[in-house]
């Protein structure tokens, strides 16, 4: 039960994280619809009350609510509908306006209805999941704040009139609205999560669990585009030496096990933020997207460790493996294609020098 609940939360979080631009537009547009709905309800109520008591004009509290609704309509017409805002900015605007709607409506309800203080509160709380989409934690926070605010209004405007029954109704409305969030977005979010799993599988090399060639290239290009200023990028091409002999002498199953062991060596030697891929049968690549200029020498140490671990590796009867490594070190902002060409030239140099070694090319110069 609890695992299912947390899986749903994870699904909703992923759903929101992957659709922020779409949700930002949807959330601010739906808030306008909520304002229109509140306006219609208040106007209809005033018409009914005026038909019963024609001489009774709207009190100040009604004009306060109308002012809040009108302010948002002007805000939306003159500003919100004309610009693109980030998801976080839209969240702040939408929830602030919703909170003002709620406070004005709650104050009106306190003054207008003596017997019950909860109908408008319950309606607005239950309306939140219907018009607003966000992380579950944000729902929980905003509804907690609204509940506390409502208690404060009751105490200030009409002290001693909020019964235990009304308190229970308010808490039940908040809990039910959170259940609605799970129900409304849970299935949709889970379907998006399934898409995520499918994409991860399609981006993964089935044998080693590393990125496949296309995924490696796409992620590497994105990483170097977003590289912080003042850092270098490094691309490594690692080509297994004489891998055909492993398959011929020990069988393809042993060959597969050797490749998986090699993948595990790379995972141990590089950081979580580094991108590791199997881009060919026995060819691997590693993108170190950002590293301080003064730390680029650490990659040479990583290469020495990799060569040593391969040399002492035993898989069944097979042992004493090696690979050739070509490294492109970019200080100036090269493209992925330019780095690949540089690393490939460095790899060729390593092969020419007898294999089982590494070569670093930086600005077209080689040094061991």
Is the Cα dihedral 282, 362, 270, 341 positive or negative? negative
- Residues 152 and 101: their CA atoms lie apart, in Å, by 16
Given 282, 330, 344, 345, which residue is catalytic? Answer: 282
**Tokens encoding 336:** 């992925």
- Residues 162 and 151: their CA atoms lie apart, in Å, by 8
In angstroms, how far apart are the furthest CA atoms of the chain?
102
**Tokens encoding 47:** 């018409």
Q: Judge whether 238 and 287 are in contact, CB under 8 Å.
A: no
Active site residue 330: no
- Residues 330 and 231: their CA atoms lie apart, in Å, by 9
According to DSSP, the residues that pair with 286 across neighbouring strands are 236, 276
Q: Return the H-helix or E-strand segment holding 192.
A: helix 164-202
What is the dihedral angle through the alpha carbons of 82, 85, 91, 93, rounded to the nearest 10 degrees? -50
Residues 6+ apart with CB under 8 A from 19: 192
Q: Judge whether 220 and 227 are in contact, CB under 8 Å.
A: no
**Would you please indicate which residues are annotated as catalytic (active-site) residues?**
282
């Amino acid at each position: 039960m609890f695992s299912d609940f947390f899986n749903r939360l994870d699904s909703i979080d992923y759903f929101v994280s992957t659709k922020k631009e779409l949700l930002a537009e949807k959330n601010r547009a739906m808030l306008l619809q909520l304002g229109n709905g509140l306006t219609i309800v208040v106007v209809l109520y005033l018409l009914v009350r005026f038909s019963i008591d024609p001489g009774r004009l709207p009190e100040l509290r009604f004009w306060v609510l109308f002012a809040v609704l009108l302010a948002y309509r002007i805000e939306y017409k003159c500003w919100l509908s004309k610009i693109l805002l980030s998801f976080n900015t839209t969240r702040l605007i939408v929830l602030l306006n919703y909170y003002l709607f709620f406070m004005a409506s709650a104050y009106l309800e306190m003054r207008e209805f003596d017997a019950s203080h909860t109908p408008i509160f319950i309606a607005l709380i239950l309306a939140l999941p219907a018009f607003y989409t966000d992380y579950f934690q944000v729902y929980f926070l905003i509804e907690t704040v609204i509940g506390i605010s409502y208690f404060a209004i009751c105490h200030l405007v009409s002290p001693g009139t909020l019964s235990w029954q009304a308190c229970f109704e308010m808490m039940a409305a908040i809990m039910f609205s959170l259940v609605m969030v799970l129900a409304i977005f849970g299935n949709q979010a889970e379907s998006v999560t399934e898409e995520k799993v499918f994409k991860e599988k399609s981006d993964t090399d089935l044998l080693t669990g590393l990125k496949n060639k296309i995924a490696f290239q796409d992620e590497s290009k994105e990483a170097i585009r977003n590289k912080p200023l003042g850092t270098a990028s490094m691309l490594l091409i690692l080509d297994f030496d004489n891998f055909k002999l492993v398959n011929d002498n020990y069988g393809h199953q042993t060959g597969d096990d050797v490749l998986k062991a090699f993948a595990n060596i790379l995972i141990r030697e590089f950081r979580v933020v580094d991108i590791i891929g199997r881009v060919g049968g026995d060819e691997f690549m590693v993108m170190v997207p950002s590293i301080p200029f003064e730390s680029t020498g650490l990659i040479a140490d990583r290469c020495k460790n990799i060569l040593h671990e391969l040399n002492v590796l035993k898989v069944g009867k097979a042992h004493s493996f090696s690979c050739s490594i070509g490294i492109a070190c970019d200080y100036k902002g090269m493209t992925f294609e330019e780095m690949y060409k540089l690393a490939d030239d460095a790899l060729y140099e390593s092969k020419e020098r007898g294999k089982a070694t590494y070569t670093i090319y930086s600005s077209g110069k080689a040094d061991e």
